[in-house]
Structure 1
Amino acid sequence: MKAKYIFSGLLAMTLVSSCTDKMDYKEYNVHDKAYEEKMFERVGGLMTEIYNDIDYDFSNYSGAMSSSATDESVYSHPGNAIEDFYNGAWGPTNAKERVWKSAWDGITYSNLVLDEFNDCTFPEYTEDEHYQQQMFLYKNYRYEARWARAFFYFELVKRYGNVPLKTRTMTANEANSLPQMPADSIFAFIDKECADIQDSIIVNYGDLGDMSYYKAQTGRANKLAVMALRARAALYWASPLFNTKGDKSRWLKAAQLSNAVIAEARQEGMGLLPDYSKLFDKDSYKDGIKEIIFARRTTASNAFEKYNYPIGIENAGGGNCPTQNLVDAYEMTNGKAIDEQGSGYDPQDPYKNRDARLALTVAVNGENWPDKAALETFEGGANSSSVTYGTPTGYYLKKYVNKGTIIAKTGSNSFTHEWVIFRLAEFYLDYAEAALNYTGSGYTAPDGLPMTAAQAINVVRTRAKQPNMATGLSFDAFKKKYENERFVELAFEGHRFFDLRRWKEAPQYLKNIRGMKITRLDDGTMKYEEQTIATRTWDDKWYLFPFPQKDALNCHLTQNEGWK
């Protein structure tokens, strides 16, 4: 999401890749400090560039989302680059390095703000009537930049593990000589940075009192964004991928930090938004403000809809089609899994009496989506796999897709999209996971904390109008229920790809991908048959990303295990 200030050519340069990029701002076409001091907005432009380096997942892989490298969805265009993640075609020479590039860029800009533009006084503007307000916001940049730097390091460590730690502006040669730091040290850096700044950064940009001047202050990191980053990083650090010795104290810390996010959010009048769908539509930055902690806003576009509208609509691409794996994860309204005794599930009326989040996430056969035409995903139907690029699973994506978007050649329109990075519901789930793993029970609260894992999950389930968690579940049964709850609540928000990796549970979920075969019978009724549509392999080296080969060589990085 862009900051208020508009990037105005301040850093018009060629962006190149690798950890050597832009290590010394004087080596590139960047105006010097004296020039920057002449205009508040010029320094603000650096912050805009930092925010612009925050990644989002609106079809990053030529239309595909990371969900289509998991059991959430299948991309309807065979041969797409997303397949590299599960067919073994990625590696050091095909390293999927989008975030590797953007994170190092963001770290470099953050260091530049902190080292070179941290103490400007703008003497030529002291008589400006809004000088005090502008300086108030300017001084906050140092905390925003530290948050951003920590955020980028989290994006790196969760993908790569051990990475260099660059905390100041330096030359390319200096940067190339930095040693890799253990993942534990990177997580410790993130934790300390967030702890240091969370009580100094602005709490609420919408309530600046006498310091308010700019009308729009959305999309900037505030206190809750800092606390959210710290809590999520703690959860990852406690997870099996990084917590190789099973240190339970890490789970306790993760629970404490997630609880702190929840408590701070309550204090600021936040809670779960009653309407789940409002978190992901075109006005989510307004309607979702009650729950959304931080989101990345894009410019107005209809590209996401072009990628994901059902085949059969003019200019539509079919896109990221939800799997039967995901659809089956949605419980019945009585709280039972579809394969659980007494659930009432009817295989020939499979979408009846299901968790309301299913209908808000997945478009099914016969549904009027995105317009008044009923979807025909049955074999031979207008939107089916019988049509080139039609759904291979029997479903289409609704979440994040704005059905008011017109993508036809005539009369097309476009809207902004908000990629939700932190929202409150996640931290109830994060708390539940940490509490469960620390206490060994879904029904025992960690010492000094107010909720059991079940109580935290029930907050999320209540919004969905689902019954409370069942009582008396064993640790393993509760864990399975928790993971299922996280699957459906956070579907298509970029979590699944990394959850299965940090849990080290990818093989059990990612090998068999299922869809729904629908046949229209002579009497017009439909016959539903689940089927396996893909059988995939898994290699444990995929738990971490490979370092791009050129950077592994230039920066003397030890390649991650299995990728050499």
Structure 2
Amino acid sequence: MKRLKLLLCVVTLLFCISCKDMLEPEIENNLDLESTTNNASYAQGLLLNGYNRIPTNSWSFNDVSTDDAVTNDKNNAYLKIATGQWTAINNPLSQWTNSRAAIQYLNLFFSVTDQVKWAVDQNINKMFNDRMKGEAFALRALFNFYLLQAHGGKGTNGQLLGIPIVLQPEGLDADFNKPRATFDDCMAQIYRDLDMAEQLLPNDFEDIATDAQVPAKYAGVGKDNYNRVFGYYFRGRITARIAKAIKAKASLLAASPAFNPSATAKWEKAANDAAAVIDLRGGLVNLNLNDIKWYDKDAGIDGLASGVNPSEILWRSDVGSSNDLERSNFPPTLFGSGRINPTQNLVNAFPMANGYPILENNSGFVAASPYDNRDPRLKLYILVNGGTSGTSGSVINTSANGTTNDALNKVETSTRTGYYMRKLLRQDVNLNPSSTTSQKHYNPRIRYTEIYLAYAEAANEAWGPISNGTHAYSAYDVIKAIRKRAGVGASNNDAYLESIKSDQVKMRALIRNERRLELCFEGFRFWDLRRWNANLNEVAQGISIIAPAYNPINVENRAYQNYMVYGPLPYSEILKYNNLIQNAGW
């Protein structure tokens, strides 16, 4: 019996020893915020979190909730909101969680960066601190822009509201029940952050060759130390040039009819902000044909050095090799799912090669051959019936009586409109299971064409089509250059543009149309229609082709309400915080 008791004691002791880790866990390998002062990598991680959350790091294809496209994916969230299921509970366009989380991390970064030991040498330490603070200011402005775009609007009190302005980290004991600031106050904060970014950052991250090129505020550090902080190694991160472009995007939003009923001064600011980016590039220069194929091998994507941009790209994501876009959007006969289907509405928006809209008397449009003699961008961006695609240049038949799965509504991966998306896709990708290949891709965060079009739109509103304020070019000059680059109006000096160049209303329509064409499938149309107070409910149309007849068909109705010019705040936030005012109608 004594032996049994002794054995039980030993077993109990061993059990207790073995359970030590369970009963008293070891200190976890988690760093607190104070640890950042001696851990520069951890501190920089707070900043890099912002880069990781940039919405344009991936494609949204919210175009399928506009008059530009539909999708054959019946579970697509944007299809659902376009057809009546957009609510404050179901909002795939919300930036409330993502952008506010990014701002929290950036505010945490601001709270520690001045104490972080970025480098042993104090001068180099200051440069690192300045650079990363500049990046953080620009990123915070960018995320506040996305919040305003998605959630700014007229509250139930009729006032134009933005979002709560948060400039400090929010701890567990923070007051989260903050009211929304006015839209104008939010814009003022965005401008302040961007001004700080421009002061702290160089125009570009490039090595300098001599000590004499070191900026005066860092005099004495030497070119090698300067390059260590501001050199080419950091290409791809935010610069003063990019901060100016973010300002141009934000200014255009603020000047637009949905947020600016009449103030000419806001249009002037938007034009001036866009011009600052254009002038930094040297004006209306370097517009070449390959700019409109920036996503393709013709634009040099395969040979891009680390961080280097093609001439069209101001800021982009990293280059990666994949075939995901092609797998989702190639026609079925090329082993794709044909997800994004451009509408007849968008096809009709492309003019003839001579520059005239297809319904104009001088256009030369022939209904029996609707894709002939059209703007070259049409077949570059949209795969039409009889067009070619893929590595073998396969002819794609989208007719209603076609015999392959590419035909209209043939199978669940077939087109619903008679068209497939071609833009963004690498035609040298092969999806055949026996010989699948991938190719290089990247996402543009900001393109120069976006900035050109922002200037044209704002300048036309501020000064008219052919006046230029204090700049060397007008709205007309920009549109002339963009259409010339595309090969539009080459045979007749763009006679249509010349005929309307003194008419502000017609120029407005043309500028908006050029924006629609140049930026299609890149996630702009949804927001553009709203900031313009334009028609949200144009029926998405397609084409039923049974040779020789081309018959337009209604494919999908839109079910937006008037108040949906502005997006909602999340319903859960409204329930939690009584100081938050919801946008009217939601």
TM-score (norm 1): 0.85
Give 1:367 deviation, angstroms.
1.9
Indicate the residue corresponding to 2:260 in structure 1. Answer: 243
Give the number of the structure whose residues are more often helix, by fraction: 2
CA contact (8 A) 2:253 2:259 kept: yes
Match status 1:477 vs 2:497: no
Give 1:337 deviation, angstroms.
0.8
Indicate the residue corresponding to 1:91 in structure 2. Answer: 87
Give the 3 Å change call, closer, same or farther, for CA 183–199 of structure 1 in structure 2: same
Structure of higher CA gyration radius: 2
Indicate the residue corresponding to 1:545 in structure 2. Answer: 567
Q: Could you give the per-residue CA deviations for residues 208-266 of structure 1, whole angstroms, max 9, x where no partner exists?
A: 5533358643321111110011111111111111113x111111111111111110122
Instruction: Single out whichever of 40-49 and 157-166 deviates more from structure 2.
Output: 40-49
Match status 1:220 vs 2:237: yes
Trace 1:110-509 onto structure 2 (pairs within 5 A). 110-122=106-118, 136-161=127-152, 162-209=162-209, 210=224, 211-213=226-228, 216-244=233-261, 246-266=262-282, 271-281=286-296, 284=301, 288-297=309-318, 299-314=320-335, 316-372=336-392, 373-381=394-402, 382=404, 383-384=406-407, 385-439=409-463, 441-446=464-469, 448-467=470-489, 468=494, 469-472=497-500, 473-507=502-536
CA distance in 1, matches of 2:517, 2:356: 14
Give 1:493 deviation, angstroms.
1.7
Identity of aligned residues (%): 28
SS in 2 for 1:117: helix
- Structure 1 residue ranges without an equivalent (≥5): 1-27, 521-525
CA distance in 2, matches of 1:483, 1:560: 27
CA contact (8 A) 1:296 1:421 kept: yes
CA distance in 1, matches of 2:559, 2:176: 36
Q: Aligned AA for 1:445?
A: N
Give the 3 Å change call, closer, same or farther, for CA 317–59 of structure 1 in structure 2: farther
CA distance in 1, matches of 2:128, 2:425: 34
Give 1:105 deviation, angstroms.
1.5
Instruction: Single out whichever of 324-333 and 529-538 deviates more from structure 2.
Output: 529-538
Instruction: Single out whichever of 143-152 and 108-117 deviates more from structure 2.
Output: 108-117
CA contact (8 A) 1:321 1:391 kept: yes
Q: Could you give the per-residue CA deviations for residues 507-551 of structure 1, whole angstroms, max 9, x where no partner exists?
A: 4xx42211121124xxxxx53233332232331121111111112
Match status 1:73 vs 2:69: yes
Indicate the residue corresponding to 1:9 in structure 2. Answer: none
CA contact (8 A) 1:428 1:459 kept: no
Q: Could you give the per-residue CA deviations for residues 471-527 of structure 1, whole angstroms, max 9, x where no partner exists?
A: 3453322211111111111111211111110000034xx42211121124xxxxx53
Q: Aligned AA for 1:240?
A: P
Indicate the residue corresponding to 1:512 in structure 2. Answer: 539
CA contact (8 A) 1:118 1:142 kept: no
CA contact (8 A) 2:345 2:541 kept: yes
Q: Aligned AA for 1:348?
A: A
Indicate the residue corresponding to 1:535 in structure 2. Answer: 557
SS in 2 for 1:254: helix
Give 1:30 deviation, angstroms.
5.8
Give the 3 Å change call, closer, same or farther, for CA 122–333 of structure 1 in structure 2: closer
CA contact (8 A) 2:379 2:387 kept: no
Paired residues in the alignment total 515
CA contact (8 A) 1:54 1:296 kept: no
SS in 1 for 2:326: helix
CA distance in 2, matches of 1:163, 1:93: 18
TM-score (norm 2): 0.82
SS in 2 for 1:294: strand
SS in 2 for 1:192: helix
CA contact (8 A) 2:320 2:442 kept: no
Q: Aligned AA for 1:304?
A: L
Q: Aligned AA for 1:303?
A: D
SS in 2 for 1:516: strand
